[in-house]
Amino acid sequence: MVTYWDVCDGSSIRDLEGSQSGAINGMHITQDGSHFVTGGDDKQVKVWDFMLGDITHVGMLHGASISCTRICSNNCILVSASADGGIWRWKFPHPPSSY
């Protein structure tokens, strides 16, 4: 489950189904806050539109549960790692807003 929280009072604003099976083990958000990426037990890397709450892209190359996801500071590269030692480098599907 992906939950959006209100920073003022700590209340839940929105809940999204992040995975059909298992837990989400890693999440990272772009510096501008426009997108975030998740990875978990379903072995899928998912890129989300933050405002819409929609999945925009899915990567399915991992052979085991994803343990970590990171987006580089300029939003060009996404890296994911899994429990079997796999490390994947992805081209981030959304160009940096500064272009």
CATH of the domain at 84: 2.40.10
**Total tally of structural domains belonging to the chain:** 1
Provide the residue range defining the domain that includes 27: 21-91
The 3-state DSSP class for residue 67 equals strand
User: Does some domain include residue 45?
Assistant: yes
pLDDT digits (tens, 9 = 90+) for 39-51: 999 999 999 999 9
Domain membership flag for residue 33? yes
Residue 7 within a domain: no
Interatomic CA distance for residues 94 and 49, integer angstroms: 10
- Residue 14 inside a domain? The answer is no
Q: What is the pLDDT of residue 99?
A: 36
Q: How far is CA 40 from CA 7, 16, 66, in A?
A: 25, 15, 5
**Does residue 49 sit within a domain?**
yes
- Phi/psi region, residue 57 (left: phi>0; alpha: psi -120 to 50; beta: rest), is beta
**Residue 61 within any structural domain of the chain:** yes
Whole-model pTM: value is: 0.85
Residue 25 above 90 pLDDT? yes
pLDDT classification of 95: cutoffs 50, 70, 90: low
d(CA 36, CA 56): 10
